[in-house]
Structure 1
Amino acid sequence: MLIDINKTLRLLLEKLQTWFDATVLILPNLVLATIVFLLFIALARFSKKVIDKLLANIRTAENVKAIIKTFISILIYLTGAFSALEVLGLDKAVTSILAGAGLIGLAISLAFQNIAANVISGIIINFRNPFRVGDYIQCSDHIFGRVTKINIPNTILLTDEGQYITVPNKEIWEKNITNFSKSGHREIEIKLVIDFDSNLEQAIEIAESTLANLAFVEKNKEIDVFYTGVNAYSIDLSINFWIKFFESKDYEFAKSDAIRAILKAFKESNIQIPYPRKSIKNENL
């Protein structure tokens, strides 16, 4: 029994001596690898300051700047880690890690391709700036709202009904985007019909003069009034003018006030708005 214990202790001491000798042998490389990795950490921190200075005068969203800094920092950290492993002579480990990372990256990209598409679209939107926070936009063909926040995977809009809606950036970027706030102006079209027997020239003059006297109508842009069609008892009239646009209610209120003003002016000048007519024939008479 005593012999077995002595043998076990001897084997243990030999193993510890082997580990100690190996540690002593790699100690210089271990110190050097640590120094290399610490240098890369310092480089990553310095790169963040450099990026802040380079992007200071560029109108880019803060979350995009943060992504750029994080992405570059990760690249520097990974380079530092692989360099440290190579200093330690772990070249095969580095190769295995890279191969494994490639397979994992492929699997992740297939599993989360929609998320990746939203992230990439979000980065493009933040760089291209088709709209900014506070702009009133139409996106995805049917969604209207004011931009309240632009995230990397999605954009949040406040609709006219007072509801917050989250729209994936992929859906926004792949379809048409209408930014009503970018120019600060918006055209309004009013379609009316007037009686076939009305004075057509007078109707145009009344519509133009009425709109010209409204405070919200842009005075430096043309007021266009023209006829677009002829019906059995009426003529189609298209009236176009511009307003300064900040809120969706600006458009609705301006259109409503303009319609009321034009109809009132038409009524005062005996320009009739026709109603559907039916001829009734009484065969008993």
Structure 2
Amino acid sequence: MNDQTGDPLNTLEILIAQLHSMWEGIISLLPSLVIAILFLVLTWIVARFATKIADRLTAKTAMRPSLRELVETLVRIAIWTVGLLIALTILLPDLTPGSLIAGLGVGTVAIGFAFQDIFENFLAGILIMIREKMRIGDYIRCEGIEGKVEQIMLRETHIRKMSNELTIVPNSILFKNPVEILTDQQRRRHEIVVGVAYDTDLEQARSVIRTALETSEVTDDQKPVDVFACEFNASSIDFRLRWWAGSAQRDMHDSRDIVVRSVKRALDKAGIEIPFPYITHTFKDAIPMASHGD
């Protein structure tokens, strides 16, 4: 008997039979393919309509623009995910929704491990926007980063330093660490330390300093002015001066400048010596108004 397995005619017949079978499969799939395509078109229409509704609803709220865009994106993704799953089950009846969801779950876990930092910053950005405590234009300090908030995005926040450099901070840093919002209130308390000679009448010095503070045009007359004798220094007795003024960084520098010059002028006029060399204390960082009741 002759072996005909290598006969070119036999091979051609097998190839034609396979192509014919594939063609029949495609023809049999056409109705399902048309229905799946129509369903995807319907999904596109529904996604556009739902996005417009979400945009109108969020426009009536005080949501940040970035958060509104996120809501619209999530609505669009949710509708398209459901639409694609249904279209796949129509096109491939043997592919059940359960197996698709299980596959998506495994894929999501794998992607989550691969892009953990990205998702962490993304989620932190969403929570920062929802919390809405930190606003555009606020002056903040966090982990050695200090400046004005220019933009809050889903993954990062742009902070402009006073020297005009831009710092791009991952949102996870701002979410996981304490953030000082120095401009949370319109007014905050500032303070400096000034020393007088040991032979000075402290009651007179306190009165002169208090008058200089109270008559300064930058101090808030609705808030108390404090003058405390606080320390015996190497060559002086130190007074701690506290007053309320604007919370913006420029206001802080302006008010300290005016207070220092006013106090120096008043002490000179009263003949009260500021010892030299005088060991100054570092100006203490101003404290937000909301955290102090005095």
Give, in angstroms, the shift of residue 275 of structure 1.
Answer: 3.8
Provide the TM-score with structure 1 as the length reference.
Answer: 0.84
1:87 to 87, 90, 104: 90
Aligned residue identity for 2:177: K
Identity of aligned residues (%): 30
Structure 1 residue 262 displacement after superposition: 0.2
- Which residue type is aligned with residue 193 of structure 1? G
Quote the RMSD (CA, aligned, Å). 2.6
Aligned to 1:137: 140
Secondary structure in 2 matching 1:55: helix
Quote the offset at 1:93 in angstroms: 6.8
Matches within 5 A, 1:50-65: 50-65=53-68
* Letter in structure 1 aligned against 2:42: L
Query: Superposition pairs for residues 88-237 of structure 1, below 5 Å?
Result: 88-92=91-95, 97-140=100-143, 142-231=144-233, 234-237=236-239
Q: Is the 8 A contact 2:197 2:273 kept in 1?
A: yes
Task: Report how far residue 180 of structure 1 moved.
Answer: 2.0
Question: Counterpart of 2:269?
Answer: 268
SS at match of 1:197: coil
Give CA-to-partner distance per residue, 1:241-262, whole Å, 9 cap, x none.
111233x232122212211210
The separation in 2 between residues aligned to 1:227 and 1:201, in whole angstroms, is 10
Aligned to 1:251: 252
How far residue 129 of structure 1 moved from its aligned partner, in angstroms, is 1.7
Q: Structure 1: where are the runs of 5+ without partners? A: 278-285
Cα 1:107–1:14, aligned 2, differ >3 Å: closer, same or farther?
closer
1:274 Cα deviation from its structure 2 partner: 2.8
Report deviation, 1:5.
8.2
1:250 alignment partner AA? D
Contact 2:85 2:100 in 1 (8 A): no
Structure 1 residue 16: deviation in Å? 5.2
**Hey, what's the Cα distance between the residues in 2 that align with 1:34 and 1:108?**
28
Cross-structure match for 2:285:
none
1:4-34 per-position Cα deviation (integer Å, ceiling 9, x unaligned): 8887776666555544544444443333323
**Alignment partner of 2:140: what SS?**
strand
Following TM superposition, by how much is the alpha carbon of 1:83 offset from its aligned partner in structure 2, in angstroms?
A: 0.8
Provide, for residues 255-276 of structure 1, a one-character-per-residue CA deviation record: whole Å limited to 9, x for no partner.
1221121011111112222346
Q: Secondary structure at the match of 2:183?
A: coil
CA distance in 1: counterparts of 2:264 and 2:148, whole angstroms = 32
**Against the structure 1 CA distance between its residues 23 and 56, is the aligned structure 2 distance closer, same or farther, given a 3 Å change threshold?**
same
One-letter amino acid matched to 1:188? H
Q: CA 1:83–1:263 in structure 2 vs 1: closer, same or farther (change >3 Å)?
A: same
Aligned partners of 1:232, 1:71: CA distance in 2, in Å?
Answer: 64
Match for 2:202: what amino acid?
Answer: L
Normalised to the residue count of structure 2, the TM-score between the two structures is: 0.82
In 1, distance between residues paired with 2:9 and 2:175?
75
**Residue aligned with 1:218, SS:** coil
1:77: which partner in 2? 80
Structure 1 residues 193 and 82, CA gap change in structure 2 (3 angstroms): same
Aligned residues: 272
What SS does structure 2 have at the residue aligned with 1:215?
coil
Instruction: List alignment gaps of at least 5 residues for structure 2.
Output: 1-6, 279-294
- Distance in 2 between residues matched to 1:30 and 1:154, nearest whole Å: 42
AA partner of residue 113 (structure 2)? L
